[in-house]
């Protein structure tokens, strides 16, 4: 069985949804850059090893610490679930294409932060989330799958966050399950063999 580590920085709702759907034995650790991440409690409740890599003023040291800790766990797959630090090129180059991320927009639209308010400002019709492989760009790696919703007149950034998060919780565990058993074939920046 392939092994994964899950990287979080905050509340960990995606972590929770992943834990409900995949075999916990395949998760070797939950790692964070934030000692106060609520998601750590979820990991502990589920008896999963946790690991804190604290951010220091020395950016290179943080990058090195993160790299060394990840290597220590020897994961086949790295899962970003609300991890707010950018992975170093060294990590990405070593693990590509086995790093996954979920992003709250229909990429390539709205890469980066604050997607829900930006989508509303842009008068979009649709919004949603994307699961993709992480490369060295910001939210630019090969697409695996997306799920969309129609924006309502009454939507606010908060309501959109809630509605998109519910979609995230349905698609991310399915992708992870698949990656734990399969290897991706990538063509034109899309994973062409992923089947839900
Ligand atoms: C989610 O919106 C995810 O798309 C983004 O960060 C947020 C993490 O939320 N990458 P949670 O910590 O999983 O609740």
Is 103 among the residues known to form the active site?
yes
| Domain end marker among 95, 113, 139 | 95
Write the CB contacts of 110 (distance below 8 Å, at least 6 apart in sequence): 118, 119
Number of domains comprising the chain: 2
Whole-number pLDDT of residue 1? 85
Which H or E run includes 15? helix 13-21
pLDDT tier at 73, thresholds 50, 70, 90: very high
State whether 43 and 77 are in the same domain.
yes
Residue 75's CB: how many other CB atoms inside 10 A?
Answer: 22
Mutation choice for ligand 1 from 87, 101, 102, 118, CB with most ligand atoms inside 8 A? 102
Q: Is 128 near ligand 1, meaning CB less than 6 Å away?
A: no
State whether 6 and 45 are in the same domain.
yes
* Distance (Å) from CA 90 to ligand 1 centroid: 24
Domain that includes residue 7, residue range: 1-95
* Distance (Å) from CA 14 to ligand 1 centroid: 6
- DSSP letters, 64-127, are HHHHHHHHHH--SEEEESS--SPPPHHHHHHHTTSEEEEESS-TTTT-SS-HHHHHHHTT-SEE
Quick: pLDDT tens for 104-146. 999 999 999 999 999 999 999 999 999 999 999 999 999 999 9
State whether 87 and 152 are in the same domain.
no
| Domain end marker among 95, 125, 144 | 95
State whether 59 and 111 are in the same domain.
no
pTM exceeds 0.85, yes or no:
yes
């Amino acid at each position: 069985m392939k092994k994964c580590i899950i990287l979080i920085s905050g509340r960990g709702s995606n972590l929770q949804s992943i834990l409900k759907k995949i075999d916990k034995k395949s998760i070797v650790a939950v790692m964070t850059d934030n000692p106060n991440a609520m998601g750590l409690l979820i990991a502990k409740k589920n008896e999963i090893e946790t690991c804190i890599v604290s951010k220091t003023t020395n950016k290179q040291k943080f990058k090195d610490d993160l790299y060394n800790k990840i290597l220590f766990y020897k994961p086949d797959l790295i899962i970003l679930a609300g991890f707010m630090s950018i992975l170093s090129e060294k990590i990405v180059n070593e693990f590509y294409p086995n790093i996954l991320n979920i992003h709250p927009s229909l990429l390539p639209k709205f890469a980066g932060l604050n997607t829900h308010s930006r989508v509303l400002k842009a008068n979009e019709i649709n919004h949603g989330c994307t699961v993709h492989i992480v490369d060295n760009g910001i939210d630019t790696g090969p697409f695996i799958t997306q799920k969309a919703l129609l924006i309502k007149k009454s939507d606010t950034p908060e309501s959109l966050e809630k509605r998109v998060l519910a979609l995230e919780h349905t698609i991310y565990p399915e992708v992870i399950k698949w990656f734990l058993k399969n290897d991706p074939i990538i063509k034109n920046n899309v994973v062409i063999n992923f089947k839900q």
